[in-house]
Amino acid sequence: MCGIFCAHNHPDVHGFKPQALQLAKAIRHRGPDWSGNVISNNTILTHERLSIVGIDSGAQPLTSEDETLILGVNGEIYNHRVIRKSFGDKYKFKTHSDCEVILYLYAEKDIEAPKFLDGMFSFVLYDSKKDRIIAARDPIGITSFYQGWNSSQPETVYFASELKCLHPICDNIISFPPGHIYDSATGKTTRYFQPSWWNASPVPEKPLDLKLIRSALEKSVRKRLMAEVPYGVLLSGGLDSSLIASIAVRETRAGSNLSGHDNSQNGMDNLVGIDDEGYLKTVSKFAKLHSFSIGLPGSPDGVAAQKVADFLGTEHHTYTFTIQEGLDALRDVIYHLETYDVTTIRASTPMYLLSRKIKAHGVKMVLSGEGSDEIFGGYLYFHAAPNKSEFHQETIRRVKNLHLADCLRANKSTSAWGLEARVPFLDKEFLEVAMAFDPEEKLIRKDRIEKWVLRAAFDTSSEPEKEPYLPKDILWRQKEQFSDGVGYGWIDALKDTAARVVSDEEFKNRGNLWAEDTPDTKEAYWYRQMFDEQFPKQCASTVMRWTPTWSEQTDPSGRAISTHVAKYEHV
């Protein structure tokens, strides 16, 4: 991931530049490889770069051939070669960056440009001829992005990848809505992403096609192997990450076979990527796929992850953390996450610790399994869905809010250490397939475990000629939320510690401190307290706290759901 900071229509942009560079520095962890900035008219655009594609020539901000368009991007455009080819010889590209195509898509399509992008992105583009800023965010909000204003300078608009760039200068900040584009020419923010599944009604009636589910996810993983740096996979041992790892192993192996030769040297080999027609291409990777997991000693996920790694033949790295190490990291985790949501903080802390370990291996990109539970109703509270219509409505709501929850966690936990997380389940083509069939098939029944559809799609037991994707007991393993799976003692310790550090009197007085979004547990109080110590009040409006639907419980842990089957001893 990279980092963007931009101020448009600033009354003294040259005088503001030193402060702008300091604000941009606050997100250098997102882009430790290079820093760049451009001033044009009354606009300054800065960029902190993490180089994944176009390493030698992709420094940003990018500019058009005539220097009139200036662009800063955080993310990856997977179909950039296809877009380049569609232009023919009309434009002269300066770099090999996947992001440069946005300049000329804007020249061709104006604010329709994001509709043609396949990837995860936030970008700011300045048109100096028109003195016009446009800004956009990917359809689901995989990349973090914020917009802000200062009431003393109402004509100036600011954009940044994280809140920490904006709160020193903005008294009004919003989380930029996913799938939208802002245009300074009109002052409007409009939704460009309009998939068939966006509205809950009518409920889809299309028949389920398991092979289509399988092929769509395989294609999604294949796209995300576009890289010029070594990459790995996050492997919790749960269904979602295990499937992503399995597909990545197959695609990588297929790419090596297609290359027709072996260029192994210094532990490196060929990696499958995507060429300008959407086919396989070779770039660099480790000779063996690396997988990574973390948990308390003996955690449920750690045991399962090792089993998957042995089955797939990955170079597996298992890390453990102590409860005290997790507690010690909490303040830093909240600083990087910029949230006080309980379930996000619980799950992000192990991910944050693991990301630091991964970066030490020289890995700069990882595949991760976020989004599957929202799409297929994998959380255990979905057992209580009263009918398929409400089940479908809840999956849509959860996908729409991913930018405030699991996408935020994956993006910021990894970006804290200059690592990029890619999420194949949130590919817009895959979403179109996975959200379009009759949700009756997704309902959890006596004869169907949660995410039955996904499990069945990759169950090859009736296809003896096909190599199994996963061991059967992993493919059909019951859901563990990440914060549970790393070891049940982690959540217990968080609750116990919060009970000690937050007195009964303080907790009783919580309504006077927070009249809105009042914490309902001591753990929530503790996190909100740490958040407020690091972020002013204008940041709180960007946070969404989550609790399950169809349930009266306040604890978001899957273990608190009555349907959870305790298959593991507590640690």
Are β-strands 146-150 and 172-175 bridged in parallel, bridged antiparallel, or unpaired? antiparallel
From the candidates 2, 99, 170, 539, which is the catalytic residue? 2
Q: Whole-angstrom Cα distance, residue 14 to residue 17?
A: 5
pLDDT at 257 over 70: no
Specify the domain boundaries for CATH 3.60.20.10 within the chain: 3-191
Q: Which residues are part of a known binding site for ATP?
A: 234, 294, 368-369
Percent of the chain with pLDDT over 90: 81
Q: Element (H or E) spanning 385, and its range?
A: none
pLDDT category at 272 given cuts 50, 70, 90 is very low
Question: How distant, in Å, are the alpha carbons of 277, 399, 412, 526 from that of 405?
Answer: 34, 10, 11, 19
User: Partners of 315 in the beta sheet?
Assistant: 290
**Given this model, what pLDDT does residue 50 score?**
85
Of 128, 184, 117, 182, the residue nearest 156 (C-alpha): 184
Q: Is 516 exposed, middle or buried (0-12, 13-18, 19+ CB in 10 A)?
A: exposed
Q: Which residues are annotated as a binding site?
A: 98, 234, 294, 368-369
- Which CATH superfamily groups domain 3-191? Aminohydrolase, N-terminal nucleophile (Ntn) domain (3.60.20.10)
Q: Which residues contact 407 (CB under 8 A, 6 or more apart)?
A: 140, 141, 142, 144, 370, 371, 423, 426
Distance from C-alpha of 368 to C-alpha of 293, rounded to nearest angstrom: 11
For residue 231, which amino acid is it? Y
* Angle formed at CA 428 by CA 257 and CA 135, multiple of 5 degrees: 115
Residue 446's H or E segment, with its range, is none
Residue list, annotated binding site for L-glutamine: 98
Q: Which residues pair with 5 in a beta bridge?
A: 46, 160
Query: How high is the pLDDT of residue 52?
Result: 76
Q: State residue 258's pLDDT score.
A: 46
Q: What's the confidence (pLDDT) of residue 556?
A: 62
The model carries a pTM of 0.92
- Distance of CA 309 to CAs 235, 238, 242, Å? 8, 12, 9
Phi, psi (degrees; rounded to nearest 5) at 315: -80, 100
Contact, 222 vs 118, CB < 8 A?
Answer: no
Which region among 1-15, 68-82, 263-277 has the lowest average model confidence (pLDDT)?
Answer: 263-277
Q: Is the pLDDT of residue 274 over 60?
A: no
Homologous superfamily of domain range 210-480+487-560: HUPs (3.40.50.620)
Identify whether 202 is preceded by a cis peptide bond (ω within 30 of 0).
Answer: yes
Q: Are 100 and 62 within 8 A, CB to CB?
A: yes
CATH 3.40.50.620 positions along the chain are 210-480+487-560
Q: Which residues contact 433 (CB under 8 A, 6 or more apart)?
A: 212, 213, 216
Query: Residue 73's beta-bridge partner residues?
Result: 123
Q: Decide if 2 is catalytic.
A: yes
Other CB atoms within 10 A of residue 27 CB: 25
Confidence of residue 266 (pLDDT cuts 50, 70, 90): very low
